[in-house]
Amino acid sequence: MDEQAFNVLWLQSGGCGGCSMSLLCADTTDFHGQLRDAGIRLLWHPSLSLETGGDVLALLDDVLQGRVRLDALCVEGALLRGPNGTGRFHLLAGTGLPMIDWVQRLAARAGVVAAIGSCAAWGGITAGGANPTDACGLQYEDERIGGLLGAAFRSGRGLPVVNVAGCPTHPGWVLDTLMALAAGELQADDLDALGRPRLYADQLVHHGCTRNEFYEFKASAEKPSDLGCMMEHMGCKGTQVHADCNTRLWNGEGSCTRGGYACIACTEPGFQEPGHPFHETPKIAGIPIGLPTDMPKAWFVALASLSKSATPKRVKVNATADHRVVTPAIKRTRLK
């Protein structure tokens, strides 16, 4: 065993496993080689490792007894505290003990604890509706700090839970976070106010969106196949949501908005229950309730009115079409 390696243990709790599936879309032909080259040793992952049964239990015991150093505990999926706080809705196979007990014990030994995905960060989809399993995040319940480990929790490195939020997470967010941790280059100042790595959370989904010209002129899509901006009518929250989805493309070429789907704010607490259909924009007096981040309502109303009055015919026509109907005019660009 490489004593210098950054040891990562990955557990899956209440969720769909989608973040692990997304991780396999990392931009590499050699996933384990990429980790190895970054000095990261994956102690165990339930889907990516060969060890099962007794081997895994022996590893967990070694970690708890201090025989194996745990640099990062990654948890995917919400923590299921039910029924009645016992955690027995989810037992770690072969142990008879609730997963929440294992997470609490291992977190106490970890240099860093990372929530992989919005379920592990805030509770996410698993905590939706009546939440019969009493699901929560590692250190949050939606936007309320607390969760399984409590507001005061700090890992061995003195960090709160690192919330690599997303549903699912972008593989780049996970790998870049682990690599930064392994290199000692992710500190408390590198996390935003919700514990998300600023390497992606200091961006907005709106940044780099291919529909930005339509947004600028408030030329809006009216049905799913339209090319226009989806904020006004189609429920898109990209101007409010912290993520770099349109500059760090998925699989090298895609994003939700590029695929014709509105941003549903999957990196944000409580996204699973917005209080309205995902594909609709709630409004008061015709004005969207969810305005762009940092923009006062009066400014938005004034800007929208001016923009709509100045919308070129090309932009207006193309906004409600499923293909480019009018192409940009050819214009001389030389000054003379």
Beta-bridge mates of residue 191: 197
pLDDT tens by residue, 295-329: 888 988 898 899 999 999 999 999 999 999 999 99
Residue 230 identity (one-letter amino acid): M
Binned at pLDDT 50, 70 and 90, residue 252 comes out as: confident
Contacts for 84 with CB less than 8 Å, ≥ 6 apart: none
CA geometry: angle 42, 45, 48, nearest 5 deg? 95
Cβ(258)–Cβ(246) below 8 Å: yes
Locate 322 and state its tokens: 């499923």
Matching CATH number, 6-200, of 3.40.50.700, 3.40.50.150, 3.40.50.11900, 3.40.640.10 = 3.40.50.700
Cβ(229)–Cβ(238) below 8 Å: no
pLDDT for the residue numbered 30:
85
Q: Is 30 or 36 the better-scoring residue by pLDDT? A: 36
Q: How many CA atoms, within 13 angstroms, populate the side-chain half-sphere of residue 218? A: 16
Average per-residue pLDDT in the chain? 95
Angle between helices 99-107 and 54-64 (to 10 degrees): 40
pLDDT for the residue numbered 26:
84
pLDDT for the residue numbered 31:
85
User: Residue ranges per domain, the chain?
Assistant: 6-200, 203-329
pLDDT tens by residue, 91-130: 999 999 999 999 999 999 999 999 999 999 999 999 999 9
pLDDT tens by residue, 166-194: 999 999 999 999 999 999 999 999 999 99
Give the chain's largest Cα–Cα span. Answer: 81
- Quote the CATH superfamily of domain 203-329: Cytochrome-c3 hydrogenase, C-terminal domain (4.10.480.10)
pLDDT for the residue numbered 333:
87
Residue 291 burial (CB < 10 Å; 0-12/13-18/19+)?
Answer: middle
Cβ(78)–Cβ(119) below 8 Å: yes
H or E element at residue 141? strand 140-141
pLDDT for the residue numbered 4:
87
pLDDT for the residue numbered 10:
98
